[in-house]
Amino acid sequence: LAHRARALEVVKLPDTMSSSLASPSRASAPPVAANDDRSMSISVMGRIAAGTPIEALQQEVNQISVPMEMLRSGEHYALEVHGDSMIEAGILDGDTAIIQNGATADNGEIVVALVEGHEATLKRLRRKGEMIALEAANQAYETRIFRADQVRVQGRLVGLIRKY
């Protein structure tokens, strides 16, 4: 509406919407509860560094319920993100990363990388010949380059859960 901040006026409802409003006897499907049976409980395996790599943890801290739509085939686990190196990819400190377990990933995918057998980090993977680059999504961090035998992929990011 003119001369009003963020004001809208519904001029005409879509045909499909106006017919459903005209017959109130029609029942619409109830909303699905967030804790229905279409979710799966997966293990939270500790923290993952999105910044300076941290010591890799291999033990379950707790469980988290994840919607089935977020999961792919295979095994999954969750990691709490610690750091700000992936903020330009929308991954913030405190988020929970849902990881599909696996030892392979395509170029450009965000992966859990085990560096030199003891440091785990969440970064974008780039292969360049016999070298692997682990790229941050924050210009404050430099891309780290390793020989292929120094980096082992432990899974790839398939989902993200954020608490507000």
Q: What is the distance between the alpha carbons of residues 64 and 43, in angstroms, rounded to a whole number?
A: 6
Contact assessment for residue 57 and residue 47, using Cβ atoms and an 8 Å cutoff:
yes
Query: Does residue 123 carry a catalytic annotation?
Result: yes
Contacts of 81 (CB under 8 A, 6+ apart): 47, 48, 50, 91, 92, 93, 94, 95, 96, 97, 122
Among candidate residues 20, 23, 73, 123, the one labeled active-site is 123
SS3 135: strand
CA distances in angstroms from 50 to 27, 36, 54, 84, 136, listed in the order given: 47, 32, 9, 6, 8
How far is Cα 90 from Cα 84, in angstroms, rounded to an integer?
10
Given the residues 18, 85, 128, 163, select the one marked as catalytic.
85
Rounded to a whole number of angstroms, the CA Rg of the chain reads 22
- Backbone torsion region of residue 57, taken as left when φ is above 0, otherwise alpha when ψ lies between -120 and 50, otherwise beta: beta
Residues known to be catalytic: 85, 123
